[in-house]
Amino acid sequence: MNRLAAETSPYLRQHKDNPVDWYPWGAEAFQRAKEQDRPILLSVGYSACHWCHVMAHESFENPALAEIQNRLFVNIKVDREERPDVDSVYMSALQAQTGGGGWPMTVFLLPDGRPFYAGTYFPPTDRPGLPGFRRVMESLALAYRERRSEVVANAEGLSQALVPAPLMAAASPTGGIGQALAKAQSSLVQSADREFGGFGRAPKFPQCAALEFLLQDEIGSQRREAGQVVRRALDGMAQGGIRDQVGQGFHRYSVDQRWAVPHFEKMLYDNAQLIRLFLHAWQAQGLPRDLAMARSTADFLIADLGLASGGFAASLDADTVDGEGAFYGWTPLQLREALGPDRGELAEHLFGGPGPARTEQGGLVLRGGVEPARLADELGLGETELQSVRREMARDLANRRALRPGPGRDEKLIVGWNGLAIIALTELAVAADQVSYLEAALRCADAILNLASLDGRIHHLFDGSRARFNATLDDLAAFGLACLALHEGTGNSRWFELALSAAERVEAEYRDEEGVGWFDTPLGHDPNLTVRSRSLEDGAQPSGTSLMVELCLRLHALTGEPSWRERASAVLESLVGTAERYPSSFGALLSSLELLESGSIELALLVPPGERSHWPLLQRVRTRLLPRLVVGVGRVAPGRTEATTGPALVLGRPILNQIPTAYVCRDFSCQLPVTDAPGLDRQLEEVGAPRLEGNEVRDPRGGD
């Protein structure tokens, strides 16, 4: 075993038996590189990454290659999920050199940490268009020894890409923010795949943030084409192989344009965002299948990623001992063994789809079926009956699949990703009137506060035994937004106070004192990492910047404190032009731009004691999509007429007759209080809460 045997990260421990003399990231490795004047080979990946496993098997487990690696380099292995700051800094170098990114990420550094060469996967020996790992190592080590000045010059050039440019408040594009939003929407609609849904060709990712922006744009602007793009994407994913049709939940992305064959890892952040996306589609468009999809994905989250200690694990691996995707694929023989001859043959139709969809081992990737209505006619069944048969088959296949060697689970509790899960589960609990989801969200929040915190401060993760690493910007911002969701869902002012505390900590420790916005890490975070990263683009998950901007805008709506809006506005004004030009990379930021441009609608709920006594009024507004609505709840103690705790929005407002009372406000200027649902509907429409034609209050019981 090497030094990684002492680590807790599943990814690092996957490499503990390598013949490579790995170091974890830290001072010891850098000191050795300086003392021995050797370059550093930095390898970054994560436990669910298929190509990380491939490179490990081909190269890091190869004794001959390991001997070269140990002789020529000091070798550092990093889990990108543990150290997103390290990953972000060196990913900038990789993108600057190659124009792309990905994992495994392989970066060669000077002993002081400056990168001079970067790549991703290298095969063990040369392949057409791709140099072998052995040749890369020997060539770079030779250059370091004999052409040091060239290597240093290259490092100096690449190092410039590591330093984030300051955000400077810029003038809004011609036409203002409204025109920029319209152009971004038009660009996304034009780039959408009109045949299969989603964006681009292959590989195809969910891109939840961009789809959320389009869904909100449909509500705010009445532009139906935006909603149609979302509809095609959701139907494509729901019916495709990217969704686990047997065990529920979604894989990370599809390797093809048709959503048919995925890379089989399942990530917490993807599934948390997809719960919200399908829920919001139901709120906006009213199709019961969207609510059913949100529920099934939430059920997967709780059943398959739920940790005994509370919260959710980071991921499920793509690989098992039988290879990538082997756990999920089915041969015709396996279907017949699991279901019987007749039902097995029927399953090929019920779980088929257009074109081939096979795993590496040749197994069928189950999908949503070919034209269910036509298939129902051919079989002489009603569509409802057909779907019932399909659900029964899925249960039987799930029971048989459970006997196979299953994928590994990375049990790190990552705060930012769990924050996204809390938001999704809390919103779903209220809209679907299902308390179990709220209970899961509360367990998750308690796990963050009790397990992922140390000395009263939230850290980046809980590794199963201790809280580790400084919280990143997205950790604190996502947790702050999660607390606002819990305040709305529970009516407990404690969660509002925790959200405010998280935002204040960001302002104190992460703020760019020389410009606007925030860095990903606090000052003095890591002496071995001389650059503070600043993540702006919304990738597989919203950036810390986008999350923090939204948190600021929502805190402004709840507190009336203008500084929160000013901070968000400064960031948005500096990025609006970039977001307009590259909307697929700034979906979450565009949603916050929409909120800034249109302004929030505030709803103050004053309620008597009693668990979820505010839900009847809250559900009235949360069964349709109102992205501009910010809700504050004030509980009124017996014998009193006003709330004494909670956000400023609710303080000083009287409750009527000790029954739940709603105040609809714009900029803290409120209409007369109402206690009935129809009156609340009227007031929301009067202040501009949009309602698409036919978008009535929805009954969540119709979502099954």
Any idea what the CATH number is for the domain that residue 695 is in? Answer: 3.40.30
The CATH number for 13's domain is 3.40.30.10
User: Looking at 160, 190, 205, which one is the last position of a domain?
Assistant: 160
Positive/negative CA dihedral, 214, 215, 220, 226 = positive
Which of 35-39, 96-100, 138-142 bottoms out in mean pLDDT, i.e. has the lowest?
Answer: 96-100
Rounded to an integer, the average pLDDT of 317-340 is 92
Pairing outcome for strands 40-45 and 74-79: parallel
Confidence (pLDDT) at 353: 81
Choice between 385 and 606, residue whose per-residue pLDDT is larger: 606
* pLDDT per residue as tens digits for the range 146-161: 999 999 999 998 888 8
Kindly report, residue by residue over 198-217, the tens digit of the pLDDT. Answer: 999 999 999 999 999 999 98
Whether 48 has a pLDDT exceeding 50, the answer reads yes
Which residue from 666, 659, 664, 703 is spatially nearest to 680, judged by alpha carbons? 664
CA distances (Å), 469 to each of 85, 231, 371, 459, in order? 10, 40, 50, 6
**Which phi and psi angles does 465 have, rounded to 5°?**
-135, -25
- SS3 letters for 427-484? HHHHHHCCHHHHHHHHHHHHHHHHCCEECCEEEEEECCCCEEEECCHHHHHHHHHHHH
The answer on 585 and 451 residing in a single domain is yes
415 and 501 within one domain: yes
Mean pLDDT, residues 65-83 taken together: 97
Could you tell me where the DSSP H helices lie in 600-704?
615-622, 677-686
CATH number, domain of 237, equals 1.50.10.10
Q: Pick the last residue of a domain from 573, 598, 623.
A: 598
Predicted confidence band at 694 (pLDDT cuts at 50, 70, 90)?
very low
Query: What DSSP state is assigned to residue 653?
Result: P
DSSP 512: -
* Three-state secondary-structure class, residue 53: helix
- Which DSSP string do the residues of 314-356 spell out, in sequence order? SEE-SEETTEETTTT-B-HHHHHHHH-HHHHHHHHHHT--SS-
- Of 3-12, 219-228, 265-274, 580-589, least confident by mean pLDDT is 219-228
Q: Would 167 be classed as within a structural domain?
A: no
Rounded Cα distance between 292 and 306, Å, is 20
Q: Are the beta carbons of 497 and 564 closer than 8 angstroms?
A: no
Residue listed under structure tokens 């204040």: 504
* Residue 170 placed within a domain: no
**Pick from 604, 608, 618, 622: which is nearest to 660 by CA?**
608
Of 380-394, 409-423, 675-689, which gets the smallest average pLDDT? 380-394
| Average pLDDT estimate for 513-533 | 89
pLDDT tens by residue, 500-522: 999 999 999 999 988 899 999 99
Whether residues 261 and 363 fall in one domain: no
Neighbouring residues of 497: CB distance < 8 A, sequence distance ≥ 6:
none
pLDDT at 219: 81
> Would residue 165 count as lying in a domain?
no
Does residue 23 contact residue 74 with C-beta atoms inside 8 Å? Answer: yes
Residue 101 lies in a domain: yes
Residue with tokens 């939430």: 298
Q: What is the pLDDT of residues 268-288, one digit of tens each?
A: 999 999 999 999 999 999 999
Residue at a domain's end among 403, 426, 441: 403
Distant-in-sequence, close-in-space partners of 609: CB < 8 Å, separation ≥ 6: 635, 636, 637, 638
Q: Is the pLDDT of residue 696 over 60?
A: no
Taking the CB of residue 574, how many other CB atoms lie within 10 A of it?
A: 18
* Mean predicted confidence (pLDDT) in 155-178: 78
pLDDT reported for residue 704: 44
Contact indicator for 535, 543 with CB cutoff of 8 Å: yes
Residues 476, 382 share a domain:
no
- Please, what sign has the CA dihedral across residues 204, 205, 206, 210? negative
Examine the domain organization and report whether 139 and 86 are in the same domain.
Answer: yes
- pLDDT attached to residue 356: 83
- Distance (Å, whole) CA 39 – CA 111: 6
Sheet with 105-109, edge to edge strand ranges: 22-24, 74-79, 40-45, 105-109, 115-119
Q: What percentage of the chain reaches a pLDDT higher than 70?
A: 96
Per-residue pLDDT, 60: 97
Same domain, 12 and 144: yes
CA distance 441 to 467: 20
Query: Which among 651, 615, 612, 656 has a CA at the least distance from the CA of 634?
Result: 651
* 168 part of a folded domain: no
Backbone angles phi, psi at 107, to 5 degrees: -130, 135
Residues shown for the chain: 704
**Cα–Cα distance measured from residue 372 to residue 352, given in angstroms and rounded to the nearest whole number:** 10
226 near 189, Cβ under 8 Å? yes
Query: Is 589 found in the same domain as 491?
Result: yes
**Per-residue pLDDT tens digits for 351-363:** 988 888 999 889 9
Is the predicted pLDDT of residue 382 greater than 90, yes or no? Answer: no
Assigned domain for 233 exists: yes
The tokens of 68 are what?
A: 């070269």
Q: How many CB atoms lie within 10 A of CB 403?
A: 8
**Domain assignment of residue 688, given as a range:** 601-703
CB 574 within 8 A of CB 516: yes
β pairing state of 661-666 and 669-670? antiparallel
Q: Within 13 Å of residue 627, how many CA atoms lie on the same side as its CB?
A: 27
Task: Tell me, yes or no, whether 36 lies in a domain.
Answer: yes
Q: Identify the pLDDT of residue 703.
A: 46
CB-hemisphere CA count at 13 Å for 291?
A: 26
Give me the percent of the chain exceeding a pLDDT of 90: 79
Residue 593 structure tokens: 């731009």
pLDDT of amino acid 33: 97
Q: Token pair for residue 309?
A: 């200690």
Q: Is the pLDDT reported for residue 313 higher than 70?
A: yes
495 and 346 fall within a common domain: no
The overall average pLDDT reported for the chain is 92
Domain annotation covers residue 169 = no
Domain shared by 9 and 86, yes or no: yes
- 345 and 296, same structural domain? no
Structure tokens at 307: 């940790």
Any long-range contacts for 612-616 (C-beta under 8 Å, 24+ apart)?
A: 612/435, 612/490, 612/491, 613/491, 613/660, 614/491, 614/660, 615/430, 615/433, 616/660, 616/677
Domain total for the chain?
4
Q: 567: which residues sit within 8 A by CB, 6+ positions away?
A: 507, 516, 552
* 644 shares its domain with 496: no
Least confident piece of the model among 127-131, 418-422, 555-559: 127-131
Which tokens is 673 given? 């209080």
Are 360 and 443 in the same domain?
A: no
Q: Is the pLDDT of residue 381 over 50?
A: yes
pLDDT band at 576 (very low <50, low <70, confident <90, very high): very high
